[in-house]
Amino acid sequence: MRPSLILYAGELLVGPQRELDKKIRANILESVEESVNVPDAKASEDAEMPPADENGDQPDAMDLDAVGPQCGEAPGMAVDEAGEVEGVAPEAAAPVAIKTAELLEEIRGYIRGSFFLELQRRILRYIDDLQAQQQRELPGGLPGDTLDRDLASESEDSGNEDGPGAVARKAERKRRHLEQKWSFPVLPGRRAAPGPLDFEFMRALVQVLQLEECLADHVHFLRDDICDKLRISSFKAGIGFENPCFPLILRDVSCPWCCTSSHLDVTSHPVSKPGSWVCLHCKKNYDKDAVQARLVDLLETVVQAWQSQEVSCKRCKRLRTALLQKNCDCFGIYQLRFRGEDSKLVLRILRSLVAPHDLQWLGEMLDLYERLL
């Protein structure tokens, strides 16, 4: 899915640039043709020049020295601080600005017209092909799956000498390969499980296409067409793109090599290998044990904040002083300062870092503290 997403997103950049290059070349050819058709001004001036006298000198019709630059000024046109050319009327630059504006408007019309219609047709056809391939390759997707037929053909071709054990091993290998092919990679800090493949493709692609302001309405129509193919409502919650990685930032992490302190987002920071976050200044790795110790300290802080939080009345903000007291004297309801969902979310994000980065110490502390929430 990633190559296709990059392909269609790249078309939004490459396609209009190609069209703009064609139009610029066409305008240059038109300007060259116009300059060729214009008669040579210098030849006409030479034709109007009076003949020379007997000594070969031109008559004193005009003083050439008086026309040249004065006070050390260089010949030609100068540009003032405002960016305007001295000696050229503002009306002379107006046709150039008008031609540029017309060219940009033509590019916008091209993007909204034939370009996006062709791109929309390709995207919808890719969605159909993606759904058909997923239904064909996933085990248990449809009755009479092609996987069973392939396994039957392999058993027939292999003969009796392979036996049922070889066929079962081939089936298991193929099943694992297909599951790995159609599954999302494990990302540290993922706040929720990803949805279907075609749904996530639609969310990411629409987010990229919305960057072009002139395609706002067209992108909404494209999203509605894809939702119709997926048989989901375009008004459902979570239809928009969200960053799958929850930010978990450690403040002022010091690099042991360059001694530079910077904030480190352990869920999205570049890594050279699992558990090795790269310093952006010296391009060396942070100390894995030091970062893991900071994560364990963060875990203990979250647990301590949950256990020592205040229970107050929602109405009068009075603190709860008795364990058996359920309602306040003002008939208000007692509530916690922190929500349980938020604390569990932080623990779930920390849990997602254990396996990808091989943080054994953090995993053991999570096993201990998860029972306290």
Out of 59-68, 156-165, 213-222, 277-286, pick the least confident: 59-68
Determine phi and psi for 79, rounding to 5 degrees.
Answer: -115, 125
Out of 47-56, 73-82, 270-279, 350-359, pick the least confident: 73-82
β pairing state of 271-273 and 261-265: unpaired
Structure tokens at 34: 């116009």
Cα–Cα nearest to 123, from 220, 4, 2, 10: 4
User: Which of 104-113, 314-323, 352-361 ranks highest by mean pLDDT?
Assistant: 352-361
- Residue 288: what pLDDT? 92
- Residue 333: what pLDDT? 82
Task: Give the residue, 30 or 150, on which the prediction is more confident.
Answer: 30
pLDDT band at 296 (very low <50, low <70, confident <90, very high): very high
Residue 215 has pLDDT above 60, yes or no: yes
- Residue 37: what pLDDT? 66
| CATH assignment of the domain containing 287 | 1.10.3200.20
pLDDT single digits (tens) 151-195: 344 444 444 445 677 878 887 887 777 777 777 777 788 877 788
Residue 82 belongs to some domain of the structure:
no
Residues 227, 253, single domain; the answer is no
pLDDT band at 315 (very low <50, low <70, confident <90, very high): confident
- Residue 187 CB neighbour total at 10 angstroms: 14
Residues 303, 348, single domain; the answer is yes
Task: Give the residue, 62 or 2, on which the prediction is more confident.
Answer: 2
pTM across the whole model = 0.62
Rounded to the nearest 5 degrees, what angle is found at the Cα of 370, between the Cα atoms of 318 and 373?
15
Residues 302, 367, single domain; the answer is yes
Cα–Cα nearest to 131, from 174, 171, 182: 182
């003002």: which residue's tokens? Answer: 330
On average, the pLDDT of the chain sits at: 76
Out of 70-74, 111-115, 161-165, pick the least confident: 70-74
Q: What gap in Å lies between CA 187 and CA 267, rounded to an integer?
A: 8
Residue 145 belongs to some domain of the structure:
no
Structure tokens at 164: 């049922």
Structure tokens at 232: 């989901």
* Residue finishing a domain among 215, 245, 275: 245
* Residue finishing a domain among 200, 230, 245: 245
- Assess contact for 205 and 215: CB atoms under 8 A: no
SS (H, E, C) 113-165: HHHHHHHHHHHHHHHHHHHHHHHHHCCCCCCCCHHHHHHHHHHHHHCCCCHHH
Q: Terminus-to-terminus CA distance in the chain, angstroms?
A: 38
Residues 111, 15, single domain; the answer is yes
Report, as an integer, the average pLDDT of 317-328. Answer: 76
- Residue 140: what pLDDT? 56
Residue 271 has pLDDT above 80, yes or no: yes
Measure Cα distances from 175 to 25, 45, 178, 181 in Å: 54, 86, 5, 10
- Residue 186: what pLDDT? 77
Residue 144 belongs to some domain of the structure:
no
Look at residue 214 and give its three-state secondary structure.
Answer: helix
> Domain span at residue 236?
1-32+106-138+182-245
Residue 109 has pLDDT above 70, yes or no: yes
Residue 312 belongs to some domain of the structure:
yes
Residues 186, 253, single domain; the answer is no
- Residue 131: what pLDDT? 84
- Assess contact for 214 and 112: CB atoms under 8 A: yes
- Assess contact for 309 and 342: CB atoms under 8 A: no
Cα–Cα nearest to 268, from 361, 181, 356, 360: 356
Report, as an integer, the average pLDDT of 250-274. Answer: 90
**Tally of domains within the chain:** 2
Look at residue 196 and give its three-state secondary structure.
Answer: coil
Residues 188, 120, single domain; the answer is yes
